[in-house]
Chains A and B, each alone.
Chain A
Amino acid sequence: MQTRSSTYLNEAVAIWFRDLRSEFRTRYALNAILMFAVTTLIAVSFSIGSFRIEEAERPFLYSVLLWIILTFSALSGLSRSFVKEEEAGTIDVLKLSARPQAVFFGKLLFNLTLLGALELIIVPSFIFLMAYQINFPGFFVAMIISGGLGLGAGTTIIAAMIARASTRGALFSVLSLPLLLPLMITCIKGCERAAIGIHSAGWPEVKIAVAYVIIMVVMSLFLFPLIWEE
């Protein structure tokens, strides 16, 4: 049993590293996601500026804008992880060389890496450009991290599905958004609360987001083999 469980992990990590290496050579997904995010951020920042919105409204409206930028940037590039396998024709080899759950985990880790890079660049820039005042940074960071995990967990299995469909680009957002909506609402609420600085005991929004991540990952592990072997 010991060797079996370790090979699952090995396979997943191998796929993760392979994807990172190939991404590092082309930087296709990262460029797409980051350029989308930066362009949107500049458009938002330029048209609103840091003083246009009244002080009392800022925590809520900035949190809405931040999560719209993050979610839609993620949707612009996360489908790459599976679409590129389909386009390069490497999908059959991948099927032979790793078990479905390991493939899912490898791709999930890769998508989470992309999301981490996105958040690392966009969130500080957003705070800097919009003069977003956050009174409770710990809660805010926890919300951003758990929200990012949720975005990855909710979209990875959808990416695997749309890689086999005919209209990939639009379909990815269409399928992902209804599943991400509960998460988005939670994250917006959580970031607003963190910005205002209400010390809400136990960070309820972070807990909801973590529960979302767990449920989506567990469901995906059950359902992914069905899609993968189809």
Chain B
Amino acid sequence: MIFKLLLTMWMAVIIVAAFFYAGTAAGFPGQTSRILFFHVPQAWIATLAFLISMIASALYLAKRKVETDYVAQSAAELGFLFCVLATVTGSIFAKATWGSFWNWDPRQTSIVILLMIYGAYFALRSAVSDPERSRVFAGVYSILAFATVPFLVFIVPRITASLHPEDTMSPVNPGMDPKTLKVFLGSLLAYTGLFIWMLRLRIRLLRLKGLRVRDLYHEPDNE
């Protein structure tokens, strides 16, 4: 409870700070550079979630503990959600700075393929009726999909040069304004907290659903 309250207050502070405390970065029209405080943490959470999902899938395939599959599934769902958010916010930024919502910039290409992969992952999960089999297949697919990622990294940048801002907004860049850096790191923390909270909720929900289905078939031990 206290964690949720603190998180709510922290997020509120970050949102206000993102608009009123931090300055705008040079080289970006108007207020557009403020996207840094929302878009980048969303992309970071999406990456983190997909990574967690992949590792949990591999663990499930090795040890076959249902709990790890709940983690894999929840993380994949949340990763998908944050990936969509990052795509939409990035697209709005693209309209404001590059002039079009969509121009198949390498970043946009790779994020679309990522969304396709996880869309397929959910389709696979829902198409296999046997729960155990569905978990194994989802795990295998997520590892296979992960194996194609290096190809995207090699191939996609060969097609066109990216317009995506890299160095100007990178937190490791010494040129970044200290105020901006503070709010950015605060926002990363806020989003990570939000992700952990959502992940735990989702895992709890899956666990309850799993219990109900199991109880229909077997008598619970403690009764």
Contact = CB atoms under 8 A, between A and B. Distances in A.
Interface string B77-93: 00000000000000000
B66 interface: no
Interface string A164-195: 11110001001101110111011001000000
Given A161-B137, A171-B124, A181 B116 contact: yes
A215 B141 CA distance: 14
For the complex of A and B, the 7 pairs showing the least CB-CB separation, nearest first, are A182-B151, A165-B127, A178-B116, A178-B117, A223-B140, A219-B147, A175-B120
Most buried by B among A182, A208, A220: A182
A171 B116 contact: no
B140 A226 contact: yes
Q: In which size bucket is the chain B interface?
A: 20 to 34
A120 to B, nearest CB: 27
A208 B155 contact: yes
B129 interface: yes
B120 to A, nearest CB: 5
A200 B143 CA distance: 33
Contacts, number: 87
B113 A223 contact: no
A92 interface: no
Interface of B: 61, 113, 116-117, 119-120, 123-124, 127-130, 132-133, 136-137, 139-141, 143-145, 147-148, 150-152, 154-156, 158-159
A157 interface: yes
Interface in A208-230: 208, 211-212, 215-216, 219-220, 223, 226-227, 230
Given A165-B127, A166-B127, A171-B127, A178 B136 contact: no
A165 B140 CA distance: 14
20 contacts: A161-B124, A166-B129, A171-B123, A171-B124, A171-B127, A174-B119, A174-B120, A178-B117, A178-B119, A179-B145, A182-B151, A186-B151, A189-B158, A208-B154, A215-B147, A220-B144, A226-B61, A227-B136, A227-B137, A230-B137
Summarize B's interface: helix, strand, loop or mixed. helix
B46 to A, nearest CB: 16
Contacts of A158: 141
Nearest to A212: B151
B113 A178 contact: yes
A133 B135 CA distance: 49
Nearest to B127: A165
A179 B155 contact: no
A223 B120 contact: no
A185 B144 contact: no
Contacts of B154: 208
Given A165-B124, A178-B119, 9 more contacts: A161-B137, A165-B128, A166-B129, A182-B155, A189-B158, A220-B144, A223-B144, A226-B61, A230-B132
A168 to B, nearest CB: 9
Nearest to B135: A230
Contacts of B155: 182, 185-186, 208
B144 A219 contact: yes
A48 B18 CA distance: 53
Given A165-B124, A208-B154, A179 B140 contact: no
